[in-house]
Amino acid sequence: MLRPRIIPALLLNNGGLVKTKNFIKPKYVGDPINAVRIFNEKEVDELVFLDISKRRFIDGPNYKLIEDIAGEAFMPFAYGGGISNIKQIKNIFKIGVEKIILNSSVIENPKLISEASEIAGSSSVVVSIDIKRSWRGNLRVYKNSGTKKTKIKLEEYIKNIEKLGAGELLINAIHCDGLMKGYDLNLIKEISSLTSIPLIAIGGAGNLIHLKEAIKAGASGVAAGSFFVFHGTHQAILITYPSFDELEQLINYD
């Protein structure tokens, strides 16, 4: 059996590396280039970068920072944030990014998924969906980094994303983000039952058991931020990654 993908997901804000809780109050945790160098040493298979800077809606992607990351990273990485048109997508692929992550832009313009897939193939196009579970247990899709609730019907939206040619889904549970108390396993089960697209779960990982639970619930891979950035009960900043032996144990998750 292939080892599931365990992916560090790093948030960018005005050029720095940050972490959030429930998508708010970004806390500076270091320099993204330094983080890439550490993950190079740890021989991480894949990285995700999501730019949450407010100015990305005005200025678009920070190409200089993306290029710096591409020049430093030994591993493939995906980038999302401020992508709103096909010209930007072409520029990002030219820089050397292996996958692009689309979110709010495809809520407004779903055809951007198929346009991107035609350029680089569906395997290089990831659609991210930010979801929050209400106190009643209802699931709602949000846009603009979780600041605006939409009226999207989740099942129809996912079916359309698959039809348009997305190669992967990144499901971000806003209500679990940064809490390190575990993934929303019911959410993973529900989404994975709706589509055949590989599902990457993010939001809530605090230990290896959480990763196992998410994979068993139906995730093709798991992404995390705080789990790879914070250490100990006082959450000291220490960028790390599980050992090869620890990751091999994830295969035996019965």
Per-residue pLDDT, averaged over 22-39, amounts to: 96
Instruction: Give the model confidence (pLDDT) of 66-115 as tens digits.
Output: 999 999 999 999 999 999 999 999 999 999 999 999 999 999 999 999 99
Q: Can you give the pLDDT at residue 254?
A: 56
Please report, to the nearest 10 degrees, the dihedral formed by the alpha carbons of residues 183, 184, 185, 189 taken in order.
-130
Q: Can you give the pLDDT at residue 251?
A: 63
Per-residue pLDDT, averaged over 173-201, amounts to: 96
pTM of the entire predicted model: 0.95
Mean pLDDT estimate for the chain: 93
Model confidence band, residue 46 (pLDDT cutoffs 50, 70, 90): very high
The whole-angstrom separation of Cα 178 and Cα 181 is: 8
Q: Can you give the pLDDT at residue 1?
A: 46
Count Cβ atoms below 10 Å from residue 136 Cβ, excluding itself: 5
Q: Can you give the pLDDT at residue 137?
A: 84
Model confidence band, residue 224 (pLDDT cutoffs 50, 70, 90): very high
Q: Which residue has the higher pLDDT, 165 or 4?
A: 165
Active site residue 184: no
**184 backbone φψ class: left, alpha, beta (φ>0; ψ -120 to 50):** beta
Q: For helices 111-120 and 86-95, what crossing angle results, to 10°?
A: 30
pLDDT at 11 over 60: yes
221-224 vs 199-202, strand pairing mode: parallel
Q: Can you give the pLDDT at residue 252?
A: 66
pLDDT at 253 over 90: no
Catalytic residue among 51, 59, 68, 130: 130
Q: Can you give the pLDDT at residue 134?
A: 86
pLDDT at 243 over 90: no
